[in-house]
Amino acid sequence: MSEADPRELARDERTELADFLAGLPAEQWDAPSLCHRWSVRDVVAHVISYDHLGPTGFVGRLARGRFDPDEANQVGVDEYAHLSSDELLAELTAHLRPAGLTARFGGRIGLVDGLIHHQDIRRALGATREVPAERLAAALPFARVAPPIRAFSRVRGLRLVATDIGWSSGRGPAVEGPAEPLLMVMAGRADALDEVSGPGRDVLAGRLT
């Protein structure tokens, strides 16, 4: 079986996110997500905020954010602050297939970013789902090394084991669990810590807090 195209997986992930958002009550768009300082609407804005940027535009945004990645992300979110929830959903629906910066690395940026932030919304709202295994299998290796995720500093010296999809990476005390919470703790989401275990869990928990 050939490996799934990350660009298509990213499109499928964004499509599911758009379908979920279409059913949200208006007040939940303003509810907090797992992302520090960001509401659901802010996370949606972030997911698409890099699609129109090429390398030059990306450097320009970094400069506007004083070369702080978090501040640069906020710059992108602020550009969409004037849009209503319906308008944000329309923008997302018009950008289901990653473009610009999110299409880099064969679409893996769009896949990992979209998957993590989809879960940032769902977990915060208590709306669980089962993420397709092929998306998680494609996302985990890239998430571990992708600079924007910053997982490499959190999981250094640890062995990560996704018990449901047969994926593992690294050396050292193990952190084990299903692939979705494993991805979320790699991304710094302490909300998922109770769903992983192993001798390396406490080390990882200390780094997240």
Confidence of residue 1 (pLDDT cuts 50, 70, 90): very low
Tell me how far apart the alpha carbons of residues 71 and 104 are, in angstroms, rounded to a whole number: 21
DSSP-derived 3-state class of residue 167: strand
Q: pTM of the full predicted structure?
A: 0.94
pLDDT of residue 3: 72
Which amino acid, one-letter code, is at 202?
Answer: D
Instruction: Specify the CATH number for the domain of residue 157.
Output: 3.30.1050
Same domain, 32 and 103: yes
The number of domains in the chain is 2
Same domain, 156 and 87: no
pLDDT of residue 43: 98
Same domain, 47 and 110: yes
Boundary residue ending a domain (69, 93, 125): 125
Mean of pLDDT over the chain: 95
pLDDT of residue 24: 97
Give 139-168 pLDDT, tens digit per residue.
999 999 998 899 999 999 999 999 999 999
Same domain, 150 and 58: no
Same domain, 119 and 22: yes
Tell me which DSSP letter residue 34 carries: S
Tell me which DSSP letter residue 172 carries: S
Q: Which domain holds residue 21?
A: 6-125
Same domain, 79 and 144: no
- Residue percentage of the chain with pLDDT more than 90: 92
Count Cβ atoms within 10 A of the Cβ of residue 37 and give its class: 0-12 exposed, 13-18 middle, 19 or more buried.
Answer: exposed
- Residue percentage of the chain with pLDDT more than 70: 99
Same domain, 170 and 190: yes
* 90: CB partners within 8 A, 6+ apart: none
